[in-house]
Structure 1
Amino acid sequence: MEHQPCWYAVYTRPRWEKKIAEQFARRQIEHYCPLQKARHRWSDRVKIVEEPLFRSYVFVHICLHQQQTAVRMVPGVINFVYWNGKPAVIRDEEILTIKRFLRDYTEVKAYPLQPGQKVKVVDGVMMDQEGVVEKIQGKKVYVVLDSIGYALVAEFNSQSLKPLEEG
């Protein structure tokens, strides 16, 4: 796996995600910094700005043995996110899921991972995606991406979800 490009999560200094993404682009390191539009209100105006969906995380698509040092040399990069003593590999499907969420849902928020019910989405852009749901409130459903430890929130019709059988 180390000789093929894979997605990895990189932990960054707080509020450096966009700067680091720019540095990766300059150094021709394939990366993804998921951004969402957020409304900020000041006393004299309201402004829409793009903010990172995952604070202090940027994803890189690299051959680990060839580019790990180059990634770590970028100012503001703290380290790779590790799982079982190795940089955690993020599945391509999870990156695509994040991209679909940001494309198809205007209000997406990230929440820390919490265990819950296993479900499968049976229609729509998330069709066939499996995940863990902490709770369903009205039409809001928490879809968990295991390898990065976050849940994305999107509005689903509750009929779009099917509980997975245990066992």
Structure 2
Amino acid sequence: MHDFSTGWYVIYTKSRHEKKVAQQLGGMELQYFLPTTRILRIWPTKKKYVQMPLFPSYVFVKLENLQHYFDSLQIPGVLYFVKIGNQIASIKESIIHKLQAIISNKLDDIEVLSGHFNPGATVNIHAGPFKGFSCEVIEHRGKNKILVRIELLQRNILVDMPSYCLEVNAV
């Protein structure tokens, strides 16, 4: 690994190991971020809201040095760091802050999907928890939704958003 720099990186975990990995990172006194959302789970005998990872199998971690990288790889449940080519992929701190703002607003209508969506009309969000994001207006299941693409994770965040929060991009 060449040219290590302090910053946020993405760990890919075994299925359903996100919380365990996050706890271990915290135990190592590393700063981490595991965005979760509240989902209604239905069993034959009960219904219950549970906290589930917004991005299954992904945990964000801030690495200060190369030793933190190697220590993180030793945590049970960690498979690898997300890479672009031969380099581990870093995430801009501004994106982490925006994701934290989204999660802090406790929106129940957030959907994260990995499917392909055709490009929609590009707009800027100037109010609300997604303020500062550029997004697209698309039709999904017969409704207009706001789509925010997170390219590195190959995921899309879908959400209902009032029109007063949106501003059409100037061409």
Matches of 1:62 and 1:16 in 2, distance apart? 20
Q: Which aligned pairs between 1:1-167 and structure 2 lie closer than 5 A?
A: 2-4=4-6, 6-104=7-105, 105-112=107-114, 114=116, 116-117=119-120, 118-131=122-135, 133=136, 135-136=138-139, 138=143, 140-165=145-170
Gapped runs of 5+ residues in structure 2? none
Which runs of 5 or more residues in structure 1 are unaligned? Answer: none
Aligned sequence identity (%):
23
Quote the Cα distance in structure 1 between the aligned partners of 2:100 and 2:111. 13
**Is this contact kept in 2: 1:35–1:51, CA < 8 A?**
yes
Measured in 2, the distance between the counterparts of 1:108 and 1:64 equals: 34
Q: How many angstroms does 1:56 deviate by?
A: 0.7
Coordinate RMSD, CA, aligned: 2.2
TM-score of the superposed pair, with normalisation by structure 2: 0.83
Q: Distance in 1 between the 2:56 and 2:40 partners?
A: 17
Secondary structure of 1:135 counterpart: strand
Query: Residues of 2 paired with 1:161 and 1:50: CA distance?
Result: 29
TM-score (norm 1): 0.85
Shift of residue 84, structure 1, vs aligned partner: 2.9
Offset, 1:23: 1.0
**What is the count of residue pairs matched by the alignment?**
164
Decide whether the 8 Å contact of 1:101 with 1:108 is kept in 2.
no
Q: CA deviation at 1:17?
A: 0.6
Instruction: Give the drift of 1:99.
Output: 1.7
